[in-house]
Amino acid sequence: MQRFSLVIVLVAFGCSTADDNAPGQTGEPVARDANLDREPQRDAFVRPPMDAEPDAAVEPDGDPPDAAPPPPDAAPLNPACGDGVDNDGDGRIDLLDPGCTARDDNDETDPPPCGGRALIDLNAIVADGSLAEGTTTGADEGWAGSCGGLAGGEVVFTYTVESVADAIVFRTDYDETTSPTVLYIRPACEAREDLACNRGSVALPGTRVRFEPPAPGLYYVVVDTGARDGGGAFRLGAEVNPLPQCRNGQDDDRDGRIDDFDPGCADGDDDDELDPDPVPRCADGIDNDDDMLIDYPDDPDCDRASSDSETPLRCNMGEVIVLPPEGGQVAVDTNGGADNYQGGCGGSGPERVVAIYVPGPSDIVFETTGANFDTLIWVRRDCDDGNTQVGCDDDGGDGTQSRLQLNNAEAGAYYFFVDGFGGRAGQTTARVTVTPR
């Protein structure tokens, strides 16, 4: 490298005096490196960059080498069940998809429902009032309900509940059902427990199942074999019992109020939302009890819009059991209770108080039934004011039971005291029967 640098210096020097000392003009020899006479000059070698692709190998005869065989097929780097993508478009991904058995599974396609069993759409059959007909003879078998079905094959139907109903009655009790059937409902094919089950007999081969769907959705209705001597023909129907108007979440009378908020609904089983006249106090827009709270649900003394009392039913010295305006009955146990009140005809034992608000003139019967002690009852209009007593009875009912009747009683609150004769206590049923005038 040092010698090469010297040559460059000398050449440069010679070039800088070319006009004055060019050969042939001075007659002096030009200085030369002796090695230049011995070694021919070669082109400089340039090393290829480190990342350059090597030239293709060449066989001795100048032909390119034969192409290498392709590598064997390899498993995809990101199989369908491990790529984080919903490949089959069912809203579920990878191991959350029922079509995936492992992360290296390359197919998310869901398996056929019910293990490939034939499924019959019951909605499509009963939509126009028709009934499904079939036979359990020769049907696939292996299922059973909680009430039977291991005797033979079963036929599986799908049924879609589109909106919550009070109940759906599935039935096979038709003349065309000739062999005992077991009828059950499942929430899914793979479910181990059914939601309802009933079975027929040799004498009555058909049966019914009253199904109260927990929610809208798809359910499986199974007609199974109920006799060891084999299956037979059946007919299947479905009857929908809709929810009552006062529990269906709809404004049936189009007054802008629904169910408990509608003054026409006495309770959740009422199938008529039409408003009464006059409108009950808990829906009349008036602060009837002067507590600065108006109507249901803002006034806590209104249990629903159909209540006709905004007056709180309470006693200063004890708890009150409140019955609805139409009356009813409740189990009462006076054992361990306090003796805070006494009636005009006695009552030195512990008592329980049952209250009711009657919206209009009515005949009212207060009584105890099934008591295991000698009861005594009385009724007041104001729980804590003895001067408002409207009746008292010891043994007006059967045996030592008590019974008190008020004819044409005016609207308002009534407090029914269940007490014991001679300080006695025990268990009974307090019943209030209201007959509007």
5 sits in which H/E element: helix 2-16
Q: Which residues contact 31 (CB under 8 A, 6 or more apart)?
A: 10, 14
Predicted pLDDT of residue 391: 96
Per residue in 252-300, pLDDT (tens digit) is: 999 999 999 999 998 888 999 999 988 988 999 999 888 898 999 999 8
Tokens of 23: 């050969």
Domain boundaries, the chain: 2-38, 76-111, 116-241, 320-436
Per-residue pLDDT, averaged over 336-355, amounts to 93
In terms of pLDDT, which residue wins out, 15 or 337?
337
Tell me the C-alpha distance between 198 and 208, whole Å.
7
Per residue in 320-341, pLDDT (tens digit) is: 998 988 899 999 999 999 999 9
Edge-to-edge strand list for the sheet holding 327-333: 327-333, 427-436, 362-369, 403-409
Predicted pLDDT of residue 114: 82
Per-residue pLDDT, averaged over 5-25, amounts to 39
Q: Which residues contact 281 (CB under 8 A, 6 or more apart)?
A: 288, 302, 307, 308, 309, 310
Check whether domain 116-241 has CATH 2.60.120.380, yes or no: yes
**pTM of the predicted protein model:** 0.49
Please give the distance of CA 36 from its chain centroid, rounded to a whole number.
99
What percent of the chain shows pLDDT beyond 70?
82
Predicted pLDDT of residue 140: 92
Tell me the C-alpha distance between 326 and 320, whole Å.
17
Per-residue pLDDT, averaged over 396-422, amounts to 94
Q: Which residues contact 331 (CB under 8 A, 6 or more apart)?
A: 427, 428, 429
Predicted pLDDT of residue 61: 54
Tell me the C-alpha distance between 301 and 319, whole Å.
15
- Backbone conformation region of residue 26, classed left if phi is above 0, alpha if psi is from -120 to 50, else beta: alpha
Q: Which residues contact 151 (CB under 8 A, 6 or more apart)?
A: 224, 225, 226, 227, 228, 231
Decide whether 116-241 matches 320-436 in CATH topology. yes
In terms of pLDDT, which residue wins out, 183 or 29?
183
Edge-to-edge strand list for the sheet holding 132-135: 132-135, 233-241, 167-171, 208-211
* Residue 185, beta-bridge partner list: 196, 221
- Asked whether residue 22 carries a pLDDT value surpassing 70, the answer given is no
Tell me the C-alpha distance between 145 and 154, whole Å.
11
Can you tell me whether residue 281 is helix, strand or coil? Answer: helix
Q: Comparing 24-33, 38-47, 132-141, 387-396, which segment has the lowest mean pLDDT?
A: 24-33
Predicted pLDDT of residue 47: 52
Fold (topology level) of 320-436: Jelly Rolls (2.60.120)
Per residue in 184-193, pLDDT (tens digit) is: 999 998 888 8
Of 397, 387, 403, 394, give the one whose Cα is nearest residue 424.
394
Counted residue by residue, the chain has a size of 437
Q: 427 and 333 in contact (C-beta within 8 Å)?
A: yes
- Asked whether residue 14 carries a pLDDT value surpassing 50, the answer given is no
Integer CA distances (angstroms), 294 to 289, 299, 303, in order: 9, 5, 12
Count CB-CB contacts under 10 A for residue 176. 12
Instruction: Give the helix, strand, coil percentages of the chain, each rounded to 5.
Output: 10, 30, 60
Q: 348 and 342 in contact (C-beta within 8 Å)?
A: yes
Q: What is the 3-state secondary structure (H, E, C) of 304-342?
A: CCCCCCCCCCCECCECEEEECCCEEEEEEECCCCCCCCC
297 upstream amide cis, omega within 30 of 0: yes
Predicted pLDDT of residue 45: 46
Q: 140 and 245 in contact (C-beta within 8 Å)?
A: no
